[in-house]
Amino acid sequence: MASPFSSFTYSDGLTVVGISICIAVVCEAISWLLIYRTTFYKSLKSSIDRASKKLETMKTDSTVTAAPQKSSSLRVSDPTNQRAETTRFSKSIRESLAQFDYKRTMGYPNGLVSQGNQPLFSFGVITDVQYADIPDGRSFLGVPRYYRNSILVLQKAVQNWNNHQNISFSLNLGDIVDGYCPKDQSLDAVKKVVKEFDKFNGRVYHMIGNHCLYNLPRSKLLPLMTFPNADRAYFDFSPIPEYRFIVLDGYDISAIGWPHDHPHTIEALNFVNKKNPNLDKNSPDGLVDLEKRFLKFNGGVGKEQLNWLDKTLQDATKSNQKVVVCCHIPLDPGATSKQSLLWNYDEVMDVIHRYDCVKVCLGGHDHKGGQSVDSCGVHHRVLEAALECPPGTDAFGHIDVYEDRLSLIGTDRMASTEMVFNL
């Protein structure tokens, strides 16, 4: 009896090998089209690379023994707790990889984003306009700043949002005027920028930044910028029942903006004097790693606001809401420079990480922008500054909100970003 393989020839073997190679090439091409080109994949890969580098640095860095700290409403992590930080970053890398599973990458026709779905709502974003009627200058790092052009960027942003016709509201993440603005022009400059925001056909939610407070005290700023509560700069709102936005006041405990004899000013000065030995409290000289955040132009969230945040997140959890947290000062080291972090970012994130409802944190302050996914899967997106746009360029955008993600559509210097949730 003839073997079933007796007719299997050498040419047949080559045909099988050729078909296998073709299938492999086609599969790789499909993967490239549907996965590797997507914004989510690039964002995830970038976050993992940054976290990996951070992890290697933390493994090789020697620990520094800190002296015992006196009790304060501003508490910061023990800098000697290197092992816990290393574990946190290791977990961050693992969870970032876990996001990139078959369901999330192949569940939609284009790999990650179902372009046929309409967003639940959309909102505009811009940060660090820092307008001043003065000649162009440079930051302390030598980065060019275009003080007069920044208001033109804002005007284009408002026009863009109005033309979109489906922007429900807009967020200004702080610093509408610059610290170099002549103080006799501060009030007029703030009014001028607010007037441009008011041309938007919807509600504008403002945040205060350090440059705002260099110009005017918060007692004058909050009414001018139409904060919901004139007595405080933190609040929350829900554009639809499924989502809640929480706006934090990163300068609650601050050496600027409050009266000189205010308890928050006194606490801030005592805190920064203890943490930063330099004569110039805006200098990071001699400070190591995360200690570099202890600069006078940063600030902290006080105990009363932390309690409010905790209760607000409890309520959002009971209401089954997804939460977006907004703060002028960034809340995650992976998304910003060490010099631009909130003084007690770790304490704020400890509260946020108690709940699964927080999906995204938005910030400004660090003009170059940045993004990360932290150890609990929360996305952090620091937006690029309007101030550093040369004439003819822009930095603003809008965010489309879906059930499972936020999609930032940036203009020009503001990078587009997909922020897909861990559901």
Distance CA 356, CA 376 (A): 8
Query: What integer is the mean pLDDT of 233-245?
Result: 97
> Phi and psi dihedrals of 316, rounded to 5?
-65, -40
Question: Where among 72, 89, 115 does a domain terminate?
Answer: 115
If pLDDT is split at 50, 70 and 90, which confidence band does 52 have? Answer: low
With a pLDDT cut of 70, the percent of the chain lying above it is 75
- Which residues are 172's β-sheet partners? 126, 206
pLDDT value at residue 56: 58
> Does 103 lie in the same domain as 229?
no
Cβ proximity of 192 and 176 under 8 Å: no
Cα dihedral 26, 32, 33, 34 sign: positive
- With respect to residue 6, please indicate whether it lies within any of the assigned structural domains: no
Last residue of a domain, one of 71, 98, 115: 115
Q: What is the pLDDT of residue 76?
A: 60
Is residue 334's pLDDT more than 70? Answer: yes
Could you read off the pLDDT of 249-262 as tens digits, one per residue?
999 999 999 999 99
Residue 225 has pLDDT above 60, yes or no: yes
pLDDT for 169 beyond 70: yes
| Domain presence at residue 10 | no
Q: What pLDDT shows up at residue 74?
A: 73
- On whether both 97 and 159 belong to a single domain, the answer is no
Task: Establish if 147 belongs to a structural domain.
Answer: yes
Q: How far apart are CA 328 and CA 365, in angstroms?
A: 6
For residue 343, what are the domain limits? 121-420
**Co-location of 127 and 88 in the same domain:** no
Name residue 372's amino acid.
Answer: S
Q: How far apart are CA 34 and CA 108, in angstroms?
A: 9
Res 365 pLDDT > 80: yes
Same domain, 395 and 322: yes
Residue-level pLDDT at 108: 34
For the cut 80, the answer to whether the pLDDT of residue 316 exceeds it is yes
- Give yes or no for a contact between 249 and 264, defined as CB atoms under 8 angstroms apart: no
Per-residue pLDDT, 82: 47
Verify that 85 and 202 share a domain, yes or no.
no
pTM of the entire structure?
0.76
Q: Both 244 and 101 in a single domain?
A: no
Q: Answer yes or no: is pLDDT of 8 > 60.
A: no
One domain for residues 192 and 297:
yes
Q: Pick the range with the lowest mean pLDDT from 67-81, 322-336, 339-353, 395-409.
A: 67-81
Domain containing residue 272: CATH number: 3.60.21.10
3-state secondary structure of 335: helix
What element of type H or E holds 418? strand 417-420
Same domain as 139, residue 283? yes
User: Is residue 161, in this structure, part of any structural domain at all?
Assistant: yes
Mean pLDDT across the chain:
84
For 128-149, the pLDDT digits (tens) are 999 999 999 998 888 999 999 9
- Residues in Cβ contact with 191 at an 8 Å cutoff, skipping those fewer than 6 apart: 224
Give the pLDDT of residue 21: 79
3-state secondary structure of 311: helix
Query: Residue type at 17?
Result: V
Q: Is residue 71 in some structural domain?
A: no
Indicate whether 4 belongs to any domain: no
**Given this model, what pLDDT does residue 28 score?**
74
Q: Are 124 and 200 in contact (CB under 8 A)?
A: yes
Is 76 contained in some domain? no
Q: Do residue 227 and residue 202 come from a single domain? A: yes
What are 368's two structure tokens? 């170059």
Same-domain status, 228 and 85: no
Secondary structure of residue 168 in the 3-state scheme: strand
Asked if residue 209 lies in contact with residue 364, where contact means CB atoms within 8 angstroms, the answer is yes
Q: Does an H or E element contain 163, and which?
A: helix 150-164
Specify whether 306 is located in the same domain as 375. yes
64 within domain boundaries? no
> Can you list the positions of beta strands (E) in 52-166?
121-126, 137-138, 144-145
Radius of gyration of the chain (CA): 25
Reported as a single tens digit per residue, the pLDDT across 283-301 is 999 999 999 999 999 999 9
Cα angle 148, 154, 155; round to 5: 95
Question: How high is the pLDDT of residue 400?
Answer: 98
Same domain for 235 and 361, yes or no, is yes
Residue 89 · residue 54 · CB < 8 Å:
yes
Q: Which residue is listed with tokens 């990078």?
A: 415
Tally the domains of the chain. Answer: 2
Residue 115 pLDDT exceeds 90: no
Q: Is the pLDDT of residue 47 over 70?
A: no
Residue pair 201/164 in contact (Cβ under 8 Å)? The answer is no
pLDDT at 112: 37
Evaluate if residue 58 carries a pLDDT over 50.
Answer: no
